[in-house]
Amino acid sequence: MAAAGNEKRPGLTRRKALLAGASSPLALALAGKMGDEAAAAQAPATGTPLVAGVKALTFDVFGTVVDWRSSIIREGQRVGKLKGLDIHWATFADRWAATYGRGTRQVREGKLPWTKVDQLLRAGLEELLEEFAITGLTPTEVDDLNRVWERLSPWPDAVPGLERLRSRHIVATLSNGNVSLLVNLAKHTNLPWDCVLSSELARHYKPDREVYETAAALLSLPSESIMMVASHKYDLRAAKGVGFRTAWVTRPMEHGPGRKVDTAPDDSFDITASDFLDLAHKLGV
């Protein structure tokens, strides 16, 4: 049986109960429950506070979004099988990535004029074909091998995580990859970017501050409204230096099994996440 005096008050609210001086146990319980439900409705679904004011997320791509090393190894194995090549493709992949890093560094230091990443990768590939004594590839086959960087496989969480993050934020690349490479990669892997931003647009390579400043200008957003997402601490520190918020997504398998990877916590970053789904969870999406 309902308590006398309360059975005809279905519209009771916390404010009305308090203003009316309602003091019965049922009235107070209803008021408390309604207050709790209202607070829960306004809170992030995860219970983790949102990083206030973040409107856009910019992502490093190689290593953070896509698994470049495993993809290159698989492509090398395919080519090796077709051409009868006995190559240690994991070493090949590591060496190729090293030529990419060397090339961007030489551009930053003024030792090379501005050169797109796909051109730097092609120059590195030519070196490796000689170093590994790989012969028998036609010019078309060499071009196709170089374009493996447009066919890299995303980490399993990348596409669903980006879709979830995109429901609340602008999501964009901010990669040293050139625009055409990044567009072709997105088409191949169904990466759901809102826009493709590249170091090419600034004619500087990360971690030069001009890359991040150009991204903010093109998005028409103050730097503090943008969060850089990367698996590389140097990238995040550079972004933070121009006012970006930062999210470190750990990718312990980027360089393959058994490799020593920096996974030491760093409290200077706003968020540390295990993958993009965890990042979405921590952003309350």
Query: DSSP secondary structure string, 105-138?
Result: HHHHTTSS----HHHHHHHHHHHHHHHTT-----
What is residue 260's predicted lDDT score, i.e. its pLDDT? 83
| CB < 8 Å & 24+ apart, contacts of 197-200 | 197/58, 197/172, 197/173, 198/173, 198/174, 199/117, 199/175, 200/116, 200/117
- In sign, the C-alpha dihedral spanning 276, 76, 117, 241 is positive
- From the list 123, 141, 139, 155, the residue with the least C-alpha distance to 76 is 141
Give the domain extent around 146. 68-150
The 3-state DSSP class for residue 142 equals helix
What is residue 49's predicted lDDT score, i.e. its pLDDT? 52
Pairing of strands 170-175, 195-198: parallel
In this structure, the answer to whether residues 76 and 113 fall within a common structural domain is: yes
Residue 60: CATH number of its domain: 3.40.50.1000
75 domain residue, yes or no: yes
In this structure, the answer to whether residues 97 and 137 fall within a common structural domain is: yes
In this structure, the answer to whether residues 233 and 249 fall within a common structural domain is: yes
Give Cα separations from 258 to 17, 90, 98, 255, 269 (angstroms). 63, 13, 19, 9, 26
Domain count, the chain: 2
Predicted confidence pLDDT, tens digits, the chain (285 residues): 333 343 333 343 333 333 334 344 433 333 443 344 333 333 344 334 557 899 999 999 999 999 999 999 999 999 999 999 999 999 999 999 999 999 999 999 999 999 999 999 999 999 999 999 999 999 999 999 999 999 999 999 999 999 999 999 999 999 999 999 999 999 999 999 999 999 999 999 999 999 999 999 999 999 999 999 999 999 999 999 999 999 999 999 999 998 888 888 899 999 999 999 999 999 999
- In sign, the C-alpha dihedral spanning 224, 232, 165, 47 is negative
What is residue 59's predicted lDDT score, i.e. its pLDDT? 98
What is residue 261's predicted lDDT score, i.e. its pLDDT? 81
DSSP 47-91: SSPP-TT--EEEE--BTTTB-HHHHHHHHHHHHHHHHT----HHH
Read off φ and ψ for residue 273, nearest 5 degrees.
-135, 150
Pairing of strands 170-175, 245-249: unpaired
In this structure, the answer to whether residues 200 and 102 fall within a common structural domain is: no
In this structure, the answer to whether residues 164 and 254 fall within a common structural domain is: yes
In this structure, the answer to whether residues 206 and 82 fall within a common structural domain is: no
23 domain residue, yes or no: no
158 domain residue, yes or no: yes
What is residue 199's predicted lDDT score, i.e. its pLDDT? 98
Residue 116: CATH number of its domain: 1.10.150.240
8 domain residue, yes or no: no
What is residue 263's predicted lDDT score, i.e. its pLDDT? 81
In this structure, the answer to whether residues 172 and 205 fall within a common structural domain is: yes
91 domain residue, yes or no: yes
In this structure, the answer to whether residues 246 and 182 fall within a common structural domain is: yes
The 3-state DSSP class for residue 172 equals strand
- Asked if 232 and 64 touch (Cβ cutoff 8 Å), the reply is yes
In this structure, the answer to whether residues 277 and 216 fall within a common structural domain is: yes
Give the contacts of 60 (CB within 8 A, at least 6 positions apart): 174, 175, 206, 228, 229, 230, 231, 232, 235
Residue where one domain finishes, among candidates 150, 169, 184: 150
31 domain residue, yes or no: no
Residue where one domain finishes, among candidates 129, 150, 171: 150
In this structure, the answer to whether residues 258 and 231 fall within a common structural domain is: yes
The 3-state DSSP class for residue 178 equals coil
Cα separation of 197 and 179, whole Å?
A: 7
What is residue 237's predicted lDDT score, i.e. its pLDDT? 98
122 domain residue, yes or no: yes
Read off φ and ψ for residue 27, nearest 5 degrees.
-60, -45
In this structure, the answer to whether residues 175 and 60 fall within a common structural domain is: yes
